Amino acid sequence: MEQIWDQTYECMEREELEQLQLERLQATLNRAYKNVACYRNKFTGLGIVPEDVQSLSDLSKLPFTSKEDLRLNYPYGMFAVPLREVVRIHSSSGTTGKPTVVGYTKNDLKTWSNLVARFMTAAGVTHDDVVQIAFGYGLFTGAFGLHYGSETIGATVIPMSAGNTEKQIMIMQDYRTTTLVCTPTYAITLADKMEKMGIDPKSLTLKVGLFGGEPWSEAMRREIESRLCLSATDNYGLSEIIGPGVAGECPHKCGMHIFEDAFLPEIIDPETCQPLPPGSVGELVLTTLTKEAFPMIRYRTRDMTSLDYTKCTCGRTMVRMRKTMGRSDDMLIIKGVNVFPSQIEEVLVAVEGCEPHYQLVVDRVGALDVLEVRIEVTENIFFDEMKRQKAFLETVEKRIESVLGVGVTVRLVEPNSIPRQEGKASRVIDKRRI
Ligand code: DLL
């Protein structure tokens, strides 16, 4: 029999689940309406009050919430409790402008730890495991989320944080780590390093990998599994909703179970914003059902996926989301950092002589993401002298780097060589095999 952390909720019959969701939704709407001006104003604008929601299908009457709303209400405007009740702050991994600030009450932390314990258990982690956390500890929700989840299970936590790859491997050997927690990209970096150090992964005690925070493919899963000799599982989440703990895979690896007693998922058409029927591919929209400090109503995740309501052999009744298939906006995740092409554009247009014709080429060299920014040569930025050209490119690189927080290479290309498009520009070429 497979381990299930919370039989009552994870295996609830749909009818009972929907009743619970409706009750929790109504409570959330009331709290948000009463305590968060942004929600109250949006509801008023549409001429609705929380009491208008009498069934789950009424959800579609409610306004959406977007990252822009969070920015406009920076830092604490979306909090539904006074700051004195908030015991933890986190923030999204975007590094520029106003980041997204999220808060947790004591109860929220308990809820979060339990949700993480659920997907860790589903992946096969037990209290006998030694969990090495190689996410960066800090404002990013990854490390703390998995840390508290592991402790809730009763596993032994090694809070390694990110980086220092050789030391990660040494600790893995000496402390007999059984469970690895990091981004899928970093798992490959670890495998590369081990190979260089001549360490046979079979000599380690790794059993399970919990990878998330960025998209990755089945091919990458196979590579990680064979190179690290563990079972590689996927888990999904986002700071605005709670962090990791929104969804995770069971041993059957046929989609990530969304914990529907805590989050209400919808799939919408990102263009028309209309809900799509079950099974369709569209943008995932999530409503939190239990959060106190930071309730989110119909939050547009921008992640494209589909939902599978058929029964899973693991016994969990919770719906499964497919691995994400890109985003409905143009956000890129480079080395774990959220990057928007518009941020680069802002830097470029501020550079004298630069025209807004640019292209971003993302690739993966070894396990590292690399970003090349191509700009067209114009009369103003054509320099006969190589030295001057080099200095110019370096200045632009530094400016972009200081805004994004990740390094880039800027390359000059022939005038008019970047395709002009009508309508939406597609400025990104993503060559990564994900
Ligand atoms: O990345 C939370 C997290 C940490 C999840 C650790 C899992 C493990 P943010 O920094 O707010 O939060 O970034 C959220 O990352 O909207 C997705 O686009 C992407 N993402 C997260 N997990 C996955 C995944 C954390 N398993 C954004 N597959 C989300 C694909 C993912 N994309």
- Residue boundaries of the structural domains of the chain: 1-328, 332-433
Write the residue with the smallest CA distance to atom 22 of ligand 1: 213
Q: Is residue 218 scored above 70 in pLDDT?
A: yes
Give the other-Cβ count within 10 Å of 223's Cβ.
Answer: 18
So what's the pLDDT on residue 301? 95
pLDDT in tens, 381-412: 777 778 888 888 999 999 999 888 889 999 99
**Cα–Cα distance measured from residue 293 to residue 112, given in angstroms and rounded to the nearest whole number:** 12
pLDDT at 416: 80
| Confidence at residue 362, expressed as pLDDT on a 0 to 100 scale | 93
- Give residue 356's pLDDT: 64
CA 191 to chain centre: 23
Q: Distance from the CA of 235 to the center of ligand 1, in angstroms?
A: 8
Q: Which band of pLDDT confidence, cut at 50, 70 and 90, is reported for residue 426?
A: low
Residues with Cβ within 6 A of ligand 1?
92-93, 141-142, 212-215, 234-239, 243-244, 301, 303, 324
pLDDT above 60 for 99: yes
pTM of the model: 0.86
Q: What is the band of 328 on the pLDDT scale with cuts at 50, 70, 90?
A: confident
% of the chain at pLDDT higher than 90: 74
Look at domain 332-433 and name its CATH class. alpha beta
Ligand 1 centre to CA of 238 (Å) is 5
CB proximity list for 306: less than 8 A, separation 6 or greater: 267, 279, 280, 281, 282, 321, 322
* 163, 183 contact by CB (below 8 A): no
- Enumerate the β-bridge partners of residue 213: none
Chain mean pLDDT for the chain? 92
Query: What integer pLDDT is reported at residue 306 of this predicted model?
Result: 95
User: What is the Å distance from ligand 1's center to 336 Cα?
Assistant: 9
User: Coil, helix or strand for 194?
Assistant: helix
Q: Average pLDDT for residues 274-292, to the nearest whole number?
A: 96
pLDDT at site 433: 64
Distance 183 CA to ligand 1 centre (A): 9
pLDDT, residue 432, reads 84
Mean pLDDT of 308-334: 91
Nearest CA, atom 31, ligand 1: 214
**Which residue's alpha carbon is nearest to atom 4 within ligand 1?**
142
Q: For 230-271, what is each residue's pLDDT tens digit?
A: 999 999 999 999 999 999 999 999 999 999 999 999 999 998
93 CA to centre of ligand 1 in angstroms = 9
- Ligand 1 binding pocket mutation candidate from 180, 236, 302, 333 (most atoms within 8 A of CB): 236
Confidence of residue 41 (pLDDT cuts 50, 70, 90): very high
Ligand 1, atom 30, residue with closest C-alpha: 215
CATH topology for 1-328?
Rossmann fold (3.40.50)
Q: Of 86-95, 219-228, 423-432, give the range with the top mean pLDDT.
A: 219-228
pLDDT grade, residue 98 (50/70/90)?
Answer: low
